[in-house]
């Protein structure tokens, strides 16, 4: 099938997509955007988090056809231009990145949290990010990064 | 000083390159060299790789934990459109088995499968879905056999043998002094039986890689692994190629924790690539990942401790049975570690330890963070708590009273090297202020056991506090030639000095590339450092495991820098004369007697390159009584857990985990804290959430829906 959608502000068209492909597969394998990650592909780990029409979704759970005509923003579209987004800066600064496989998902999910709640409480941060798994950090420095980004008024 | 180098051939794919990083010497919390590409999504992991004409590989796995294979018919799959190859064991040109210590695991099974998920055939196709459908068309005729799934049963004399060598993969016995005659001195005796379940590393980046044929019969593999050279050697053996025709380059690694020590898709991808003469990528999905790597050994432990009334340990008897599953992996080392750490870091005058490692038809077990030591820690620390209760003593005081000190001997005969601050770290963790005890009734649900599941509003919730101390070996043990290689080049580029560091050491997330740059900066006094992509074009760095890379590859980088510096100073002396005093390099200048005597660039018309191997002091295998200088050195950690338990439902909320650890010199404090915090989270997971459920040899919970990892809501 043919698929048309907007990704990171750009109109994209993809041909010969097999109907069973997920949005994640299309982003990674057909649009050259491998930043969204494939850790579980069943909606449990959040590493493939993207915005679709402004709503945070696991792109592995979106069938590519469902993305027809939608606006998608991936981790590659979070920073504007060459500068890091303050959320990204906070993750680097706080040491919240180790292997980094969960990081794109955390960056998008944190962006979404701070957009909705610029000054979240600790319990709100934990609940908002409970759908993102990290196996390296024990979350301590990820929580630091979110607090740092909030303090700096990232959004 | 160097070993034979592999022949450099033109890589089939452009390397992601080595970004030049700036300041940060030893002891500074410099940010990660790979931090920026990881937050933007640009960092290239092995599952992100792609090439023109690339095919997708997929693996057919046995649905049975134990079966004879009577036939494999791939003809229908081969005839499918879009399918380029279907390979079985007959297509393995070299050694048909592999393994790091004992090559007992078939590359592709023939005649017999010994665990559920064992690879039987591999397929390459032009779309991953086509590859998956082709697997369904491969017809395998199995004769299902009863699986042998109980490790204790497996080591009995009359058990059916799963391997020609029998089912006892290893037995280690430690006999220290005389438990028999000492037992009479014990006034208090406690006994206990303990079990630890099978834990999964659950690294987030799935097993994956891209194999690219070089057109001359060789292959390049872009791969996430923990040890490039041991992979390379095993792959080359099975491909029937000389090692120099198999080149590995490390691709982005999405976590490891021991689960990438063994091969997974490496040989399969290379076989398919050489067969189809096309690049082949393989990526496991999460379910397959649970079948595609080894796990932490389940252990059954029986203990008997004897002590005097005043709390002095008199003897211990311990018996471990560890389930190694179908193949050997790193079980030999796990068995030895379990035995040597069985008694804990305590003065133990008499000890009898038996450690058995069994082959079964369960999933293979191997390396996972702290292997052998973790299981033993649960045993010896549970016993110390039991003993404290029996003696009416404070459990921390009992531990401090018996804490081992430098100069003592471990029950396995090795003298305790300094430092061994076991008592000190216990005292420190005990002295940390306790977290405030807030009224349980009326709390936010997220601060109660069970959380938003709304299982309690505070009724039945009690607070508990527990302490434990553990120790483990740093580096490879028991006589292993545990070395690393570093190549360091000093040159002037764009008018500024630049150090290039090249090793084969695997960065798996721990921050090693940042550390290598910090070491080089400090040693050579040059700000700009580039750490090259790890590959097999330089000698082995050994494994990224056993907490060894900072020490061993860090040591190799330091020694290589020293060698470079020595040659640099020779040039300076040629330039300025032999009496140029005590030379050093500071901020890119040669300094003597506190004054700049020469800019570096003046003696670097030609670059200086040195390649050096670094080895730690030798270790030795244990003798027949389990005695010997088995390990290089030890790390010690004390923990305190403050928990709140819903005593009616058994649900637990961890309020705080406090720890004091002997870490030596912290080269990058932030990265080090990250290692401790991540390790602690995996410990919390093992204690409260994580266990691969195995029934009749079959994994019941091969998904992140059913295998529970700690989340932000589970961590204190």
**pLDDT tens column, B386-417:** 999 999 999 999 999 999 999 999 999 999 99
Running DSSP on this structure, what letter comes out for residue B349? Answer: S
Residues A108 and A145 in one domain: yes
Cβ contacts of residue B650 below 8 Å, gap of 6+?
none
The token pair at A39 is: 């850790």
Pairing of strands B651-662, B299-307: unpaired
Q: What digits encode the pLDDT tens for the residues B656-665?
A: 999 999 999 9
The token pair at B270 is: 């290379």
Pairing of strands B219-223, A55-58: unpaired
Instruction: Choose one of A74, A106, A133: the last residue of a domain.
Output: A74
Q: How far apart are CA A154 and CA A141, in angstroms?
A: 17
Cβ contacts of residue A121 below 8 Å, gap of 6+?
none
The token pair at B24 is: 């940060």
Q: How far apart are CA A53 and CA A69, in angstroms?
A: 10
Pairing of strands A3-7, A71-73: parallel
Q: Looking at A11-20, B255-264, B587-596, B702-711, which range is the least confident one?
A: B587-596
Q: What digits encode the pLDDT tens for the residues B495-507?
A: 999 999 999 999 9
Letter string b/e over residues B134-172, b meaning 16 or more CB atoms within 10 A of that residue's CB: bbebbebebeebebbbbbeebbeeebeebeeeebbbbeb
- Domain with A87 in it: 82-151
Task: Write out chain A residues lying below 8 Å of B453, CB-based.
Answer: none
Q: Report CA B334 to chain centroid distance, whole Å.
A: 12
Q: How far apart are CA B657 and CA B109, in angstroms?
A: 45
Instruction: Choose one of A25, A52, A74: the last residue of a domain.
Output: A74
Q: How far apart are CA B301 and CA B373, in angstroms?
A: 13
Residue of B444, B668, B712, B715 best to disrupt the A interface, most CBs of A under 10 A: B712
**Which segments of chain A have a pLDDT < 70?**
none
Taking an 8 Å cut-off on Cβ atoms, the answer to whether B38 and A34 are in contact is: no
Average pLDDT for residues B148-176, to the nearest whole number? 98
A113 φ, ψ to 5°?
Answer: -60, -50
A138 at interface of B, judged by CB pairs closer than 8 A:
yes
B588 φ, ψ to 5°?
Answer: 80, 10
Based on C-alpha coordinates, what's the Rg of chain B?
27
For the cut 50, the answer to whether the pLDDT of residue B3 exceeds it is: no
Taking an 8 Å cut-off on Cβ atoms, the answer to whether A101 and B255 are in contact is: yes
B188-196 sheet: strands from edge to edge? B168-176, B350-358, B313-323, B299-307, B188-196
Q: Indicate whether this model's pTM tops 0.95.
A: yes
| Contact in structure between B234 and B100 (CB atoms under 8 Å) | yes
Q: How many CA atoms lie within 13 A of B651 on its CB side?
A: 20
For the cut 90, the answer to whether the pLDDT of residue B231 exceeds it is: yes
* Helix (H) / strand (E) containing B139: strand B139-144
- Among A101, A23, A91, smallest CA distance to A63 is for A23
The token pair at B140 is: 């395998």
Q: How far apart are CA B220 and CA B198, in angstroms?
A: 34
Q: What digits encode the pLDDT tens for the residues B620-635?
A: 999 999 999 999 999 9
> What number of other Cβ atoms are within 10 A of residue A152's Cβ?
13
Running DSSP on this structure, what letter comes out for residue A16? Answer: S
| Contact in structure between A113 and A149 (CB atoms under 8 Å) | no
Residue with tokens 């204690």: B687
Task: Write out chain A residues lying below 8 Å of B35, CB-based.
Answer: 91-92, 97, 100
Q: What digits encode the pLDDT tens for the residues B551-562?
A: 999 999 999 999
B111 burial type by CB count under 10 A (0-12 exposed, 13-18 middle, 19+ buried): exposed
Average pLDDT for residues B593-602, to the nearest whole number? 91
Taking an 8 Å cut-off on Cβ atoms, the answer to whether A38 and B206 are in contact is: yes
Choose among B32, B255, B713: nearest Cβ to A130: B713
Residues A10 and A64 in one domain: yes
The per-residue pLDDT for B13 is 85
Residues A87 and A69 in one domain: no
> Domain with A42 in it: what CATH number?
3.10.20.30
Residues A146 and A91 in one domain: yes
For the cut 50, the answer to whether the pLDDT of residue B639 exceeds it is: yes
Based on C-alpha coordinates, what's the Rg of chain A?
15
B205 at interface of A, judged by CB pairs closer than 8 A:
yes
Q: Per DSSP, what are the bridge partners of residue B174?
A: B353
The number of residues making up chain A comes to 155
Average pLDDT for residues B313-325, to the nearest whole number? 98
Taking an 8 Å cut-off on Cβ atoms, the answer to whether A99 and B671 are in contact is: no
| Contact in structure between B244 and B65 (CB atoms under 8 Å) | no
- Count CB pairs under 8 A between chains A and B: 182
B203 at interface of A, judged by CB pairs closer than 8 A:
yes
Count the domains in chain A: 2
Residues A14 and A67 in one domain: yes
Q: How far apart are CA B343 and CA B471, in angstroms?
A: 10
Pairing of strands B483-493, B208-213: unpaired
B555 φ, ψ to 5°?
Answer: -65, -40
Residues A21 and A64 in one domain: yes
Residues A34 and A56 in one domain: yes
| Contact in structure between B204 and A106 (CB atoms under 8 Å) | no
| Contact in structure between A130 and A120 (CB atoms under 8 Å) | no
The number of residues making up chain B comes to 716
A143 at interface of B, judged by CB pairs closer than 8 A:
yes
Task: Write out chain A residues lying below 8 Å of B44, CB-based.
Answer: 34
- Name the residue of chain B whose CA is nearest to A84's CA: B40
Q: What digits encode the pLDDT tens for the residues B444-475?
A: 998 999 998 999 999 999 999 999 999 999 99
Q: How far apart are CA B500 and CA B10, in angstroms?
A: 20
The per-residue pLDDT for B9 is 58
Q: Per DSSP, what are the bridge partners of residue B58?
A: B123
For the cut 60, the answer to whether the pLDDT of residue B94 exceeds it is: yes
Taking an 8 Å cut-off on Cβ atoms, the answer to whether A34 and B41 are in contact is: yes
Residues A103 and A61 in one domain: no
Question: pLDDT exceeding 70 applies to what percent of chain B?
Answer: 99
Residues A52 and A70 in one domain: yes
> What number of other Cβ atoms are within 10 A of residue A21's Cβ?
21
Task: Write out chain B residues lying below 8 Å of A103, CB-based.
Answer: 38-39
Q: Per DSSP, what are the bridge partners of residue B320?
A: B301, B355
Long-range contacts of B385-390 (CB under 8 A, 24+ apart): B385/B466, B386/B190, B386/B192, B386/B305, B387/B188, B387/B190, B387/B305, B387/B307, B387/B311, B390/B188, B390/B190
3-state SS, B408-475, equals CECCCCCECCCCCCHHHHHHHHHHCCCCCCCCCCCCCHHHCCCHHHCCCCCCCEEEEEEEEEEEEEEC
> What number of other Cβ atoms are within 10 A of residue A56's Cβ?
20
Taking an 8 Å cut-off on Cβ atoms, the answer to whether B715 and A140 are in contact is: yes
- Which residues 52-71 in chain A show a CB within 8 A of chain B? none
Q: What digits encode the pLDDT tens for the residues B502-538?
A: 999 999 999 999 999 999 999 999 999 999 999 999 9
B55-61 sheet: strands from edge to edge? B83-87, B119-125, B55-61, B280-283, B208-213, B219-223, B246-250
Residues A146 and A113 in one domain: yes
Task: Write out chain B residues lying below 8 Å of A91, CB-based.
Answer: 35, 39
For the cut 70, the answer to whether the pLDDT of residue B443 exceeds it is: yes
Instruction: Choose one of A74, A95, A110: the last residue of a domain.
Output: A74
Long-range contacts of B428-435 (CB under 8 A, 24+ apart): B428/B638, B428/B660, B429/B467, B429/B638, B429/B639, B429/B640, B429/B658, B429/B659, B429/B660, B430/B396, B430/B467, B430/B640, B432/B640, B432/B658, B432/B660, B434/B465, B434/B642, B434/B656, B435/B642, B435/B655, B435/B656
Between the alpha carbon of residue B378 and those of residues B195, B412, B468, the distances in Å are: 9, 19, 9
- Alpha carbon of A69: minimum distance to chain B alpha carbons (Å): 24
Q: How far apart are CA B60 and CA A73, in angstroms?
A: 36
Residue of A38, A91, A93 best to disrupt the B interface, most CBs of B under 10 A: A38
Q: How far apart are CA B451 and CA B264, in angstroms?
A: 38
Q: How far apart are CA B55 and CA B277, in angstroms?
A: 10
Residue of A45, A60, A99 best to disrupt the B interface, most CBs of B under 10 A: A99
Residues A9 and A67 in one domain: yes
Q: How far apart are CA B183 and CA B307, in angstroms?
A: 9
Task: Write out chain B residues lying below 8 Å of A127, CB-based.
Answer: 446, 452, 712-713
Average pLDDT for residues B307-314, to the nearest whole number? 98
> Domain with A116 in it: what CATH number?
1.10.150.120
3-state SS, A83-110, equals CCCHHHHHHHHCCCCCCCCCHHHHHHHH
Residues A135 and A88 in one domain: yes
> What number of other Cβ atoms are within 10 A of residue A54's Cβ?
10
């Amino acid at each position: 099938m043919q698929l048309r959608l907007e990704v990171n502000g750009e109109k994209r068209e993809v041909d010969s997509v097999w109907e069973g492909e997920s949005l994640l597969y299309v982003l990674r394998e057909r649009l050259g955007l491998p930043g969204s990650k494939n850790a579980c592909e069943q909606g449990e780990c959040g590493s493939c988090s993207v915005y679709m029409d402004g709503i945070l979704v696991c792109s592995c759970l979106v069938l590519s056809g469902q993305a027809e005509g939608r606006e998608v923003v991936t981790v590659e579209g979070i920073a504007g231009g060459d500068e890091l987004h303050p959320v990204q800066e906070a993750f680097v600064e706080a040491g919240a990145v180790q292997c980094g496989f969960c990081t794109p998902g955390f960056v998008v999910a944190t962006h979404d949290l701070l957009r909705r709640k610029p000054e979240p409480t600790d319990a709100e941060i934990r609940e908002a990010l409970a759908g993102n798994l990290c196996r390296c950090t024990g979350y301590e420095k990820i929580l630091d990064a979110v607090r740092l980004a909030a303090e700096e008024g990232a959004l | 000083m160097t070993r034979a180098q592999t022949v450099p051939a033109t890589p089939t794919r452009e390397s992601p390159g080595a970004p030049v990083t700036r300041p940060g010497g030893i002891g500074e919390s410099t940010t990660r060299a790979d931090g920026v590409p990881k937050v933007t999504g640009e960092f290239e992991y092995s599952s992100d790789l792609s090439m023109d004409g690339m095919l997708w590989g997929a693996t057919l796995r046995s649905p049975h934990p134990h079966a004879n294979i009577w036939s494999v018919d791939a003809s229908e799959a081969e005839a499918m459109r879009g399918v380029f190859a279907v390979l079985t064991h007959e297509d393995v040109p070299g050694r048909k088995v592999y393994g790091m210590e004992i090559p007992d695991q078939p590359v592709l099974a023939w005649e017999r499968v010994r665990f559920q998920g064992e690879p039987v055939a591999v397929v390459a196709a032009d779309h991953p879905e086509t590859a998956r459908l082709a697997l369904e068309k491969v017809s395998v005729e199995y004769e299902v056999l009863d699986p042998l799934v109980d490790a204790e049963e497996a080591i009995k004399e009359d058990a059916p043998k799963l391997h020609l060598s029998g089912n006892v993969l290893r037995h280690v016995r430690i006999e220290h002094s005389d438990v028999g005659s000492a037992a009479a001195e014990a006034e208090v005796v406690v006994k206990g039986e303990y079990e630890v379940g099978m834990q999964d590393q659950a690294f987030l980046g799935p097993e994956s890689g891209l194999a690219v044929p070089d057109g001359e019969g060789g292959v390049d593999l872009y791969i996430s692994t923990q040890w490039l050279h041991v992979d390379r050697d095993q792959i080359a053996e099975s491909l029937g190629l000389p090692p120099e025709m198999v080149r590995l380059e490390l691709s982005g690694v999405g976590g490891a924790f021991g689960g990438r020590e063994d091969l997974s898709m490496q040989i399969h991808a290379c076989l398919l690539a050489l067969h189809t003469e096309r690049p082949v990528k393989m990526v496991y999905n999460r379910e397959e990942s649970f079948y595609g790597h080894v796990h932490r050994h389940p252990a059954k432990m029986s203990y008997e401790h004897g002590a005097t009334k005043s709390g002095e340990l008199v003897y211990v008897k311990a018996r471990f049975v560890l389930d190694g599953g179908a193949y050997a992996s790193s079980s030999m080392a796990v068995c030895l570690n379990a035995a040597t750490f069985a008694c804990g870091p305590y003065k133990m005058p008499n000890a009898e330890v038996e450690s058995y490692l069994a082959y079964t038809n369960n999933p293979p077990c191997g390396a996972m963070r702290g292997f052998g030591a973790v299981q033993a820690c649960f045993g010896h620390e549970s016993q110390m708590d039991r003993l404290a209760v029996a003696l009416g003593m404070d459990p921390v005081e009992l531990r401090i009273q018996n804490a081992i000190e430098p100069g003592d001997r471990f029950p396995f005969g090795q003298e305790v090297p300094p430092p061994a601050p076991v008592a000190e770290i216990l005292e420190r963790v005990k002295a940390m202020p306790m977290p405030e005890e807030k009224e349980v009734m009326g709390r936010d649900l997220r601060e109660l056991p069970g959380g938003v599941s709304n299982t309690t509003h505070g009724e039945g919730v009690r607070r508990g506090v527990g302490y434990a101390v553990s120790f483990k070996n740093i580096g490879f043990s028991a006589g292993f030639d545990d070395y690393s290689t570093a190549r360091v080049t000093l040159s002037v580029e764009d008018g500024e000095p630049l150090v290039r560091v090249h090793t084969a050491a695997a960065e798996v997330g721990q921050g090693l590339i940042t550390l290598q740059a910090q070491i080089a900066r400090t040693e050579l006094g040059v700000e700009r450092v580039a750490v090259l992509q790890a590959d097999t074009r330089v000698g082995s760095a050994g494994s990224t495991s056993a907490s060894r890379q900072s020490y061993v590859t860090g040591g190799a980088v330091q020694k290589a820098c020293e060698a470079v510096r020595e040659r640099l100073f020779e040039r300076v002396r040629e330039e300025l004369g032999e009496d140029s005093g005590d030379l050093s390099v500071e901020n890119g200048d040669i300094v003597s007697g506190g004054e700049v005597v020469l800019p570096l660039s003046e003696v670097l018309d030609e670059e200086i390159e040195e390649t050096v191997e670094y080895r730690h002091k030798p270790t030795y295998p244990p003798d027949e009584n389990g005695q010997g200088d088995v390990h290089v050195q030890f790390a010690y950690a004390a923990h305190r857990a403050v928990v709140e338990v819903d005593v009616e439902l058994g649900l637990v909320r961890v309020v705080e985990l406090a720890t004091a650890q002997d870490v030596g010199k912290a080269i990058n404090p932030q990265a080090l804290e990250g290692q401790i915090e991540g390790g602690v989270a995996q410990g919390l997971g093992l204690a409260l959430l994580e266990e691969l459920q195995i029934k009749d040899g079959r994994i019941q919970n091969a998904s992140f829906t059913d295998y529970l990892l700690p989340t932000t809501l589970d961590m204190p």
